[in-house]
Amino acid sequence: MKSFFMMDNSKDHGKEAMLGYQISWLMRLAARKDVENRKLHEISRFTLLQLLDMKDCRDVDIVEVNVSREWHYIDVFAKCKVRRNNQIEEHLIIIENKIYTNLADGQLNKNSNTFHSYYPNFPVERTHFWLISCKEDSWEKQEQECANAESDWRLLWFYDVIGGKLDNPIGNDIFDEFWVNEWY
């Protein structure tokens, strides 16, 4: 089904901004205990735990998630607190997302340097740098840019953010419009 809301006459239809909003929303939903749509909560929890590199998530309680968009030109910046093994851990997630545009020269390093200037002593094992993209035509180039970046940037296909492309709606209009309906 074609998306109604994601189509307009602008150059990129605001889709990179929308991806940032969607990721931000999903991460914040993961920390909420009152999400009525069970599938939406499962997907949001999957999204956040994947971005935190927490594969074994049975014993992880998401305590708090604070997200900033366009923090010092970084698309999405999140501070997350999780409880694991009865210990509170703070993690930071830095996301650059691309739908139609390419990375600017040195963009990942610039974002890394900005982050490190504000958090110079934050533990590297709890810092997560992601480039989220649907630009299939430049995938290899983006992989190389992540590999050459100063920090440990990793590339993630944008549907993999939610565990893969969904064929059927989950019953949440905001989610379904962006992740299920065809728009790109």
The predicted-structure confidence for 75-99, as pLDDT tens digits, reads as follows: 999 999 999 889 999 999 999 998 8
Contacts 24+ apart (CB under 8 A), 66-73: 67/24, 67/27, 67/28, 69/20, 69/21, 69/24, 70/20, 72/114, 72/118, 73/110, 73/111, 73/114
pLDDT, tens only, 127-147: 999 999 988 888 899 999 999
Question: Residue 118: CB partners within 8 Å, gap ≥ 6?
Answer: 72
Reported pTM: 0.88
Judged by average pLDDT, the poorest of 14-23, 29-38, 166-175 is: 14-23
pLDDT given at position 24: 94
Q: Using the predicted structure, report yes or no on whether residue 9 has a pLDDT greater than 70.
A: no
pLDDT, tens only, 47-66: 999 999 987 677 899 999 99
